[in-house]
């Protein structure tokens, strides 16, 4: 039984380290826009009262990458739109987003960065 427990803990630890997000980079005039979402949210619709927020493939889907790599892209983007606890919490942890600037839609964090 002990070896099974060790495998479960190891699997959960590896999953935590390899959190992936979808990233979609596009040019808007002279600015670079990054749209990124936690992989499990792509294609979902979040509803909260009158708010309907679509995590649409046409906006968010692009290459899938580790959350750490997406944060590096944020540093080089003028506009960032992010949704999901993994990506938003990592942006907060790295000092790119203030915790009070985060909106929650159906309990899912959403944040934006605009560099002027």
* Residue boundaries of the structural domains of the chain: 20-114
| CATH code, 20-114 | 3.30.1860.10
pTM of the predicted protein model: 0.82
For the segment 38-53, the average pLDDT, to the nearest whole number, is 96
Max distance between CA atoms of the chain, in angstroms, equals 59
Instruction: Give the separation between CA 35 and CA 86, rounded to whole angstroms.
Output: 14
pLDDT of amino acid 18? 59
pLDDT of residue 42 exceeding 70, the answer is: yes
pLDDT of residue 8 exceeding 70, the answer is: no
pLDDT of amino acid 19? 86
pLDDT of amino acid 96? 97
pLDDT of residue 43 exceeding 60, the answer is: yes
CA distances from 85 to 1, 8, 55, 82 (A): 33, 23, 14, 9
Q: In percent, how much of the chain has pLDDT > 70?
A: 84
Picking from 56, 36, 35, the residue whose alpha carbon sits closest to that of residue 46 is 56
Instruction: Compute CA 8 distance to the chain's CA centroid, rounded to the nearest angstrom.
Output: 26
């Amino acid at each position: 039984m002990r070896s099974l427990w060790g495998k479960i803990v190891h699997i959960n630890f590896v999953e935590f380290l390899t959190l992936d997000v979808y990233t979609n980079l596009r040019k808007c005039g002279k600015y670079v826009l990054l749209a990124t979402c936690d992989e499990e949210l792509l294609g979902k619709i979040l509803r909260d009262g009158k708010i309907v927020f679509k995590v649409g493939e046409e906006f968010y889907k692009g290459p899938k990458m580790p959350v750490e790599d997406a944060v590096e892209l944020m540093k080089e983007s003028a506009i960032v739109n992010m949704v999901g606890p993994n990506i938003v919490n990592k942006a907060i942890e790295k000092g790119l987003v203030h915790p009070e600037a985060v909106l929650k839609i159906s309990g899912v964090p959403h944040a934006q960065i605009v560099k002027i």
